[in-house]
Amino acid sequence: MKRVLSWLMIGLITILFANCKKYLDIPSDKRMVIISNLEDLQSLLDAFNQINFVDPGAGEASADNNFLTDAAWQSLGEYDRSMYIWSDRNVIVPYSVYSGNIWATCYNIIYRANTVLFHIARMEKTIENEDQYNNIKGQAHFLRAKSYLQMAWIWCLSYDSTSKNTDLGLPLRLTPDFNEPSTRSTLDETYSQIIDDFIMAVQLLPREAIHRIRPGKGAAFGYLSRCYLSMRKYTEAGLYADSCLQIHSELMDFNTDIPNPNANYPIPQLNAEVVYFARMATPSVLSYGSVDTILYNSYDEMDLRKKTFFRDVEGRKVFRGSYNQNAIPFTGLATDEMYLTLAECLVRRGDVQLALKSFNELMITRWDKDDFSTTITESPSEALELILKERRKELLYRDLRWMDIKRLNKENYNIILSRMVNDKVYTLAPNDPKFALAIPEDIISRSNIIQNPR
Amino acid sequence: MKFSTGCYTHTRENRVLSLLYNLRLLNNRKILRMMKLAILLTILTTLKAWSHSVGQTFSISVKNAPIEKVLAQIKKQSDYRFIYTREELKAALPVTLHVENASLAAVLQSCFNQQPLDYSLDGRYIIITRKTPASDTTRMLPRITGIITGPDGAPVVGATVSIDGSSKITVTDEQGRFTLESIPAGSILLVSSVGYEAIRYPVAFDAEISLRLNIQVEELSNVNIEVNTGFQELPKERATGSFTHIDNKLLNEQVSTDVLSRLEHIVNGLSVNRKISTSGQISIRGLSTIRGPKDPLIIVDNFPYAGDLNNINPNNIESITILKDAAAASIWGARAGNGVIVITTKKGKFNQPFRVELNSNVTIASKPNLGYLKQMSASDLIDVEQMLFEKGFYNNRESNITRPPLSAVVETLIAQRDGLIDGATGTARINALRNRDVRDDFNRLIYQPAVNQQYALNARGGSGNMAYAFNVGWDKNISELAERYQRINIGSDNTFALVKNLRIHAGIQYTQSNTTSGKPGYYAIPWPGYSALPPYTSLTEPLYHYRAPYIDTAGDGKLLDWKYYPTDDWQHSRGESKLQDILLNTGISYTAFKGLTADVKYQFEQQQTTGRTLHDLESFYARDLINTYSEVNDGVISYGIPRGAVLGLSHGSITSHNLRGQLNFNHTWNSHSLAAIVGAETREIRNSSSGNTIYGYNDDILTYAPVDFVNLKPTFITGWENFIPDGISLNETINRFVSFYGNTAYTFKERYTLSASARRDASNLFGVSTNNKWRPLWSAGASWELSKEAFYNSTFLPYLRLRATHGYSGNVDPSMSAVTAIQYDVTSRYTSSPISRITNFYNPSLRWEKIRMSNVGIDFRMLGNRIGGSIEYYKKIGTDLYGLEPIDYSAGLGTETITKNIASMHGYGWDIEINSINTTGAVEWLTHFNVNLYKDKIIKNFNRNQQGRSYITGSGLLSISGLENKPVYSMLSYPWAGLEPSTGNPQGYVNKEISTDYNELTGSSVTVDDLVYSGPIMPTIYGNIGNTVKYKGLSLTIRITYKAGYYFRRSSINYRSLYASYAGHAEYAARWQKPGDELSTHVPSMIYPVPANRDDFYYGADVSVEKGDHIRIQYFNFSYSMGEKLLRKMALQNFQCYIQSNNIGIIWRKNRKGIDPDYSDNSILPGRTISVGIKAGF
C-alpha cells in the first residue's frame, strides 16, 4: 500500500509536469485572440463604430454654414463655446475629462491601420489569399490617409507650396509602437504621406468593395481627389475625380428618388450617390445650430434642395439633408461632390464646356424638372463662380466647407468669417493662423509637440 | 435522544428528496455521476450513524478474556465510548461472556457482575469506576470524595480529576461526584473538563471537596487554537506567521445572511473601504497593490471559492482564519498578496456524540434615512429653473427632435409663454410645487422596513471509524425596496476510516438562491438626460420620458401609453435570478507510517445562474420599445417590435476543478518536532455566460414573435433608422493554474521554531512569458517562546513568545496580458463580418506583482492569564506593481494610459490585539480590543504630467493620487483663497497671485507642487472594542469601531450639473448672494453660463476637505443562555435566545456637517437593524 501510494504520488506529479505546458497554453478568454490571420485584421477594420462613425466635425463647426443663437451658445459646454468663437485655446475637450476628443479618435483609426499594416507584412501572401490580402492592406492605407487628411484640414494651415517645408504638419505615426515619441512633421511631409497611402490604396483595393462601408478603388480615387483639391493641385484633383466617376457615376434625381420629401430625414441612407459611407461624431455646435440665413436664402424656390435639405424650427432653418438619414451629418464620399470637383478643376484648366457638362449633369437632378434650364456660359470666371456657389449649397455639413474656405482664401477669395454672440462680434480674417485649430492642450503637455501658433 | 432520532429520519428523507429533485436541473452527466457517488456515501454514512441510536443490540462471545476485549467489542459494535483509567482496569478479572442480540444493559450487567468495578452511563459515555474502596496506607488519605459543579451550581459530569505528578485519575459521575483513593496528603488535585477552566486544588484533610469550575473564556484559550492555512492545521503556538483566528462565538455575535460582512467589525487588521468600491473593498493590513486587484483570496475548506460568496451560510461556519503576513500567505502564491481569508465549515469528528444545533432569527432593518441626503429644496430649484428659462437655456431642448423631457416647471413656463395658460394659473401651478419633497413620497410609497429570516440546522457526530456532519439552512430576505432573496443550503460532510490508516472524505454542499427585483430607490428612478428627479416630483403622478405635450398627441392615439409610472412600473419589469451551486469535495488520505500522511484532494464546484427579466406589456420598458419601432401611416399602425412582453434571458456558469496531492510529515522525537508538507495542485476555473432577448412574448402560453434584427428600422420620434437590439451576448473564459509548494516548521524543545515555505505558480494568463509564469515565492520565519527558558521567571508576563517572518507573496490580474490581443465583439450589420477591438497591447515586460513582507510579533499573557494578546509590527514593500503609465494618446491606443509594472509602494503598521478579563465572579466583564495603525506611501510611480488637476481626488469613488512619497490615496486640493467679495466667485492661486482664471487654476499653470496636501484618505488608525458583560445566563456585548487619521472630500454644489441634469445640492441655499456673504460662506455664487472649470476648482479646493475621524457603536448583542439544570430538564444541550442590533450609529465624529465618513457623501446609508433569535442544541 505504501509503495502503491508513493508511486501514485510520483505518477501524479510527473503527469502534472509533463502536461503543464499544454495545460497552460489555452487562451484565458475565448473571445480574445492573438492576431494570426487575415480575418483578424479585417475584423479590426470592420469596426464601423470606431472607423466610419467618428469623422471629426470641428472644421464644419468652425465654418460658416451654421450659427448658434445666444441662448443656445450659452447653454453649451465651455469647449464647445470656445470652438464656436475661434478661441486661441481649449477648443477640444481633454481626453481625461470627457469623451469625444477627436485627436484621439482620429489617431485610433491610424493605430488600427498601423496594426494591420504591421501584422500583414508578417503574413504570407499566397495565390489563394492574394485578393483578400491586397484588399485589407489597401483598406489600411486608405484609412490611415483619410484620417491624416481630415486632421490636416483641422490642425494644419492650408497647403501652400511656398511654405510647405516650414508650415507645421502632423505627428506622423506609421507603426503601432506606442513608445515612439510624437514630433510634428512638415506640412509637405504630411501631404506626401497621405498621397503615398492613397496611391497604395488605389493600387490594392478592389474596384468595388462588398459594402460601401468599406473603401473600394473608387473611394480611394475620390479621397485622393479631395486631397489634391485641398492642396490646390487642380489637375490631379480633376483627374482623380474623373477616375472615381469612372467607377461610380450614379446620381439621385431629387425629382423622383426622394420617397417622402416631408419626412424628417427624407434622403435615404446608402443611396445611389454614396461611394464610401462615413458619418460625423457631431459636435454640439452643429447639433444645436441653425443654417446660415444668407446661405438658406441663396437657394432658389425651384431648387428641390431647399425643401429637402431644410426644416423650419421656430423661424430658424435646420439642416436635415444628411445622406445618413438622421441628424448626424454624412461625411463620407458621394458622387455629387465628384461632379462638382471635376467641374471646378476642368474650368480652372480652361475647359469651360466640359466643366459645365459635368456641372449640369448634377444640377438637373437637383432642380424641379419642369423649371430646369441648362447653364451656359463662355466665361471661365463666371463658370467657376457658379460652380463654387453650387458646391457650397450642395456640400454643406459634409465637413468640406472649412477646407474650401482655407484653400479659397489662399486664392484671395477673401472669405471673412464672423460670428456674433451676446452682442460681441468675433471675426476670423483670411489666412489667420487660427485656421489651424489649437491642438488639445493635454496632448501638448504630454508629448511636448509644438502648439499651432496663435 | 428520542426526539432527535425522530427528527433525524424525517430530515433525511426530505434532504435526499430535495437533492434528487434539484439534480434533475443539472444535466451534466459527469456531475451527476459524482453527485451520485457523494450521495451514496452520504446516505451510507448517515444510515450507519443512525443505526446506533435505534435499539442497539450486541453479540459477544469471549472466554477468559481481559475486560478490555469486551469493551473493544462494544466499541466496535456501537459508538459508545468508555472513560476509565488503565490503573483501574488492572484490577479487573478475566471475563467469560456469551450473548446474542443482547441489549447494552444486559451486556454490561453480565460483564461487570463479578468485577471490582462499577459502571455508569452518560449519553454515549460509559464511565467505569472502582466499586469499593481499597485499603489505605499511612500518611495517605485513604479516600477523598468531592463534587464538581459549574458556575451555576449544577454538577459537571465527566470532569477529569487527577493528582498532579501521579497517574491517579478519575472522572466525575452523574452527580458530579468523584472518588480518589490513597492520596498523599498535600497533593495537588487537578480538575479539568471541556468548556471549563481547569483548576488546581491542594488536598488537605477535608474529606468532602467541593469545587466550582468557571466557564472557559475562549478568547484566551490560545493554546488550543489551531490555525488553518487551507493546506494544514497548525497549533497557533507553533506558527511563526501572523494569523487572526475568529471562532464561532465571536462570528455569531452578529446576524447576517452572508459571512464576509461580519468580519469588518471584529477582525484585527481587516478594514472595509466603501470609497474605493461602493460594495466595500475588504483589505487586510491596508494595500498591497496600487492598480492590481485588491481583494483578499478567499478559501473555503481548502480551496479558493469560485462561486458567489453569498452562497455560504454563516451558520455553517466553524471558524475563520485570516492569514496576514508572507509566511502565512506565501503558501497561496501569486494570489495571496492581499491576504487570505480561510473559512472552515463545520465538520464531524470521530468519536463525537451526536449533536443537533438549531438557529433561527428574524432581522428587521429600518427604512433608510433619506433626510441625510443633501437634496436641494424644491423652491430653490424652481428659482433656478425660472432663471434658466428666461435665459433661453431650455430652447435647445424644446426644439430638440429627440423630444427630451422637460420638468413640470419648465413645461408650465413654456405654456405660459405660449399663452396656453394665463400667468396667474402658471404661477399658481408652480407655487404649488414649491413645498413638495420627493423624499416624502419615497418614504411613503417606495421604502419599507427590510425583513430577513434565517433558519439553520446543523447536525454532527462520529463513531470510531466515521465522522459526519450535515446542514440545512433557509434564508428569506425582503429588502427595503421589496427585493426578495431566498437561499437554501443543504450539505453533508463525511469522513470514513475504511481500513487502518486510510481515510476517505466526501462532502457535498448544495446552494440554491432566488433573487427577485424590487422597487427602484431614490437614485434609481430613470429620467432620461437627468441625473436626479426634481425634488418637487410626485411619485403618484406619471413621469414623462419624452416631452409631455408631444407624448400626449403623438401617433393619433394609436400608440401605447408612453408615460412612466414610478410606483407601479417595477411590478411589470421583474428581474428574477436563480442560482444553483454545487460543491463536491472528495479526498483520500493514507498514513504510510506514523507521521507521514499522503493526501489527494479534489474539489469540484459548479455554479449556474439563470436570469430572467420579464417586461410585460404594461411595463414602460416594453411600451417604450414597441412605440419606438412603431410606424403610424394614415391612421394605421405597424409594429417593428410585436406587441407583447419583452423577455431578457441570461445564463452564466462557473465551473472549477481543483486537484491537490500533498505529503504531510509530522514527527516528534526527543525534543525535536517537525511538521512539513509538500505538494502540487492544479486549478481550472471556467466562466461562461450568454444572454438574449425575446420579443412579442406571452408568458402564459410561451409564444414569441420573430423580429428583424438585420435591417435598419425607422424610429418613431425622429425617423432615424436604427437596428432593433438583439440582446445577444456570449462569453467564455478559462483560467488555469499549476502550482508546487512546500512548507516546513521545525521546533526544538517546544520553544524554538523555524519555518520556511516556498511555492511556484504558473497560469495560462495570456501571453505572459514562461519565465514570469513560473514565479517562485518564499518565506521564512522563526519564533522563540521566551517564557519556557529556565532563566525566564517573570511573574508579570508568565507567557511570552517572540516571532518574526519575512517573505514574498504575489498578486496577479488575470485580465492583463503581454501581447497584442484582439477581442471579437458582435458581427457587423453592414458586412456580416465579425468586428474586433484591440484589448491588450504588446507589453513584453508585464509580470506579476511582488510583495515583500516582514512581520515581527510578541504574544503574551499576564496577570494570571487575565490579559493576553499580541502586538505585531509589519512592513511591506510592493515592487513591480501595476501602474498606469499615461501615454501620448497620439499613439491611438484608445486609452490614455497603459498598464506596466512600474510602481512600488511601502506600507507598514501595527496590529495590536488584547483580550482581558476585567472582572470574574458572578459578574464577568471581558474586553476584546483591536488597534491597527497603518501607513503607506508610493515610493516610485510613473513620471506622469505634473498638472495639478490630475491629482485632485473626488468625493465619489476614489482614484489613486499616485504622488511619490505620499500615501497611495492622498487628499490633495487646490489652495483656497476665499470668495471674491464683489462677485462671489471662488478664488485660487496662480503663481502665488489670487486668481479667478479657472482655466489657469485647473490647467497646466497649477502643478502638483502648488496643491495642498491634507493627509491620507485611508484611515491610519482603526480598530474596534468589544465589551462583554455576563451575569448568570445573561450576556451583553457591545462593539464599538473607530477610524482616525484620514480625510475625505465633501460633496458640493456643481452649477453645471445643476443646470444640465438637476444634480442639485442643499448647500445652494448657503451660496454667496451679495457682497458681505463671503464672510460667512464658501459656497460660490450662481452664475450663468458657468465655466466648467469654476465648479471643478471649487470642488477640488481644500475648503471642501474634512477630517474623517469618528467612533461608532456598530452592534450590540444581548443574550440569555439557559442554565444547566433547566437544560437537563428539557433534554437540551444548550439553549440561547438573543437580540442583536447592527449599524447603530456614530457617537462621535470630527466633521461638523453630520457626514458619515465611511460612505460616499450623499449616498444612502444602510438602516439600523434589529434581530431576535434563538439557538438550541440537542
Average pLDDT over residues B127-148: 65
Residues A296 and A96: beta-carbon distance below 8 Å: no
Pick the more confident residue, A435 or B243. Answer: A435
| Any B CB within 8 A of A420 CB | no
Adjacent-strand bridge partners of B656: B605, B685
Would you list the domain boundaries of chain A? 38-447
The set of residues, in sequence order, having a beta carbon less than 8 Å from that of B768 and lying 6+ positions away, is B817, B818, B846, B847, B848
d(CA A235, CA A342): 9
Measured between beta carbons, which residues in chain B are less than 8 angstroms from residue A89?
999
Specify whether B77 is located in the same domain as B108: yes
Residues B1114 and B1024: beta-carbon distance below 8 Å: yes
Closest chain B residue by Cα to residue A110: B892
Measured between beta carbons, which residues in chain A are less than 8 angstroms from residue B762?
20, 24
Lowest mean pLDDT among A342-356, B582-596, B769-783, B1091-1105: B769-783
Of B131, B165, B194, the last residue of a domain is B131
pLDDT given at position B547: 93
Measured between beta carbons, which residues in chain B are less than 8 angstroms from residue A447?
888, 890
Please state the three-class secondary structure of B610-648 as a single string.
Answer: EEEEEECCCCHHHHHHHHHCEEEECCEEEECCCCCEEEE
Of B590, B719, B842, the CB nearest to A264: B719
Q: State whether A24 and B682 contact (CB < 8 Å).
A: no
Considering chain B, what percentage of its residues have pLDDT values greater than 70?
A: 89
| Any B CB within 8 A of A445 CB | yes
d(CA A298, CA A307): 13
Amino acid at B468: Y
Q: Look at chain B and report how many structural domains it folds into.
A: 3
| Any B CB within 8 A of A372 CB | no
- Kindly state whether residue B1116 falls inside one of the protein's structural domains: no
CA of B203 vs chain A CAs: smallest distance (Å): 51
| Any B CB within 8 A of A78 CB | yes
Q: Which of residues 205-234 of A touch B (CB under 8 A)?
A: 210-211, 213-214
Average pLDDT over residues B233-237: 77
Closest chain B residue by Cα to residue A183: B890
At B8-18, the pLDDT tens digits run 334 334 444 44
Q: What confidence category does residue B462 fall into, taking pLDDT thresholds of 50, 70 and 90? A: confident
Closest chain A residue by Cα to residue B687: A29
Lowest mean pLDDT among A368-382, B111-125, B502-516, B1152-1166: B111-125
Of B831, B842, B888, the CB nearest to A182: B888
CA of A130 vs chain B CAs: smallest distance (Å): 19
d(CA A65, CA A298): 12
Q: State whether A173 and B891 contact (CB < 8 Å).
A: yes
Specify whether B121 is located in the same domain as B70: yes
Of B53, B68, B93, the last residue of a domain is B53
CA of B548 vs chain A CAs: smallest distance (Å): 19
pLDDT at B775 > cutoff 80: no
Q: Give the Cβ contact number of residue B74 at 10 Å.
A: 20
Amino acid at B1045: G
Task: Give the ipTM.
Answer: 0.88
CA of A82 vs chain B CAs: smallest distance (Å): 11
Average pLDDT over residues B458-471: 89
C-alpha cell at B208: 468532602
Residues A176 and B883: beta-carbon distance below 8 Å: no
Single out the residue of B437, B415, B627, B404 nearest to residue B527, CA to CA.
B404
pLDDT given at position B8: 35
Specify whether B84 is located in the same domain as B33: no
Measured between beta carbons, which residues in chain A are less than 8 angstroms from residue B767?
34
Please give the residue range of the domain that contains residue B199. Answer: 133-216
C-alpha cell at B1015: 493627509
- Kindly state whether residue B813 falls inside one of the protein's structural domains: no
Closest chain B residue by Cα to residue A148: B890
Question: Residue B5 is inside which H or E element, if any?
Answer: helix B2-23
At B1056-1107, the pLDDT tens digits run 899 989 999 999 999 999 999 999 999 999 998 888 789 989 999 999 999 9
Angle (CA) B1015-B1020-B1026 rounded to 5° is 145
Adjacent-strand bridge partners of B299: B304, B342
C-alpha cell at B1024: 474596534
Q: Give the Cβ contact number of residue B96 at 10 Å.
A: 14
Mutate to test the interface with A, among B689, B734, B763, B888 (most CBs of A within 10 A): B888
pLDDT at B163 > cutoff 60: yes
Domain at B202, CATH number: 2.60.40.1120
Average pLDDT, chain B: 85
- Kindly state whether residue B37 falls inside one of the protein's structural domains: yes
Would you tell me which CATH number, out of the four given (3.40.50.1000, 1.10.10.10, 1.25.40.390, 2.40.50.140), belongs to the domain A38-447? 1.25.40.390
| Any B CB within 8 A of A261 CB | no
Taking 50 as the pLDDT cut, the residues of chain A under it are none
Q: Give the Cβ contact number of residue B1022 at 10 Å.
A: 22
C-alpha cell at B315: 451558520
Of B765, B833, B1091, the CB nearest to A42: B833
pLDDT given at position B40: 54
pLDDT given at position B818: 63
Q: What 3-state class would DSSP assign to B782?
A: strand
Q: How far from B319 is each of B132, B344, B1133, CA to CA, in Å?
A: 45, 5, 21
Adjacent-strand bridge partners of B462: B467
Give this prediction's pTM.
0.79
pLDDT given at position B22: 44
pLDDT given at position A345: 97
pLDDT given at position B225: 64
pLDDT given at position A454: 85
Count, residues in chain A: 454
A and B: number of Cβ contacts within 8 A: 248
Specify whether B8 is located in the same domain as B41: yes
Specify whether B138 is located in the same domain as B205: yes
Measured between beta carbons, which residues in chain B are less than 8 angstroms from residue A25?
764
- Kindly state whether residue B271 falls inside one of the protein's structural domains: no
Q: Which DSSP category does B1089 fall into?
A: S
Provide the phi-psi class of B36: left if phi over 0, else alpha when psi is between -120 and 50, else beta: alpha
Q: Which of residues 35-54 of A touch B (CB under 8 A)?
A: 35, 39-40, 42-44, 46-50
Measured between beta carbons, which residues in chain A are less than 8 angstroms from residue B501?
1
Average pLDDT over residues B126-141: 59
At B952-967, the pLDDT tens digits run 876 555 666 678 888 9
Of B153, B185, B216, the last residue of a domain is B216
pLDDT at B181 > cutoff 90: no
Amino acid at B854: S
pLDDT given at position B881: 84
- Kindly state whether residue B167 falls inside one of the protein's structural domains: yes
Mutate to test the interface with B, among A48, A75, A324 (most CBs of B within 10 A): A75
Of B396, B763, B945, the CB nearest to A446: B945
Single out the residue of B755, B913, B901 nearest to residue B326, CA to CA.
B755
Closest chain A residue by Cα to residue B773: A24
Of A104, A211, A326, the CB nearest to B831: A211
Specify whether B187 is located in the same domain as B148: yes
